[in-house]
Amino acid sequence: MVGINSAHGGLADWGLAALPGREAEFMASVEQALAYADALGRCAVHVMGGLAGGVPRALAWDTYARNLEVAVRRAHGSGIQLLIEPLNGRDRPGYVLHSVEQAAALIDRAGLQTLKIMFDCYHVQVEEGDLVARLRRHWHKIGHIQFASPPARSEPGTGEIDYVYVFAEIDRLGWEGWVGAEYKPSSTTTDSLSWFNRAAS
């Protein structure tokens, strides 16, 4: 097991960290996630931010940062890596964290430097583009990499990203962690895995 998500709350929440008034529920989700991660061999925990479109932006962002600071302090010394993941606004409108640039700036804040970015190539390409340049720019702030092909979020080789090039760049940069195939197969799961042979050749 490489990583898990913190509890996302209700179906309309998609995370709790940025939702004011639900701090106690958020911390309970962090405690639960850390306990699960420890039992699973200290895998990473993606701290889900939440759909905060109905909250004033400044209030949501301040709540998000303060809750992350508390989570970071709680995780200190546990050996468990906390992650934050930008989700594109097309697929997840209202989510508090949309861009890698936002995530990197957040990590630069005092008290949050131990956070890492879950760099999902699909979300980055849909929201911002310039995928490889952003990968290079924020390399040392990345804690996990995921991939899928826009526009359909399908397997490599079915969309607009040249994953042979992207995977080669990930290797060149010296990535030693896992990469996660988080896509919707365009046919069967087994047939969709043909991308692996192309990428490895």
Mean pLDDT of the chain: 95
Place of tokens 């365009």: 186
Model confidence at 21, in pLDDT bands (50, 70, 90)? very high
Model confidence at 192, in pLDDT bands (50, 70, 90)? confident
What does the pLDDT average to over 73-88? Answer: 97
176 is catalytic: no
Q: Is the confidence at residue 130, as pLDDT, over 70? A: yes
Model confidence at 197, in pLDDT bands (50, 70, 90)? confident
Rounded to whole angstroms, how far apart are CA atoms 115 and 192? 33
Instruction: Read off the pTM.
Output: 0.94
- What is the residue type of 109? R
Residue 80 burial by CB count (10 A; 0-12/13-18/19+): exposed, middle or buried?
A: buried
What does the pLDDT average to over 69-89? Answer: 97
Of 122, 148, 135, nearest to 175 (Cα)?
A: 135
Which residues, 6+ apart, have CB-to-CB distance to 75 below 8 Å? 30, 34, 45, 82, 114
Q: Exactly one of 69, 101, 128, 182 is catalytic; which is it?
A: 182
Q: The tokens of 9 are what?
A: 């709350």
Looking at residue 161, its pLDDT comes to 96
Q: The tokens of 121 are what?
A: 């190539």
Of 15, 5, 10, nearest to 96 (Cα)?
A: 15
Q: Exactly one of 85, 101, 160, 176 is catalytic; which is it?
A: 85
85 is catalytic: yes
Looking at residue 201, its pLDDT comes to 59
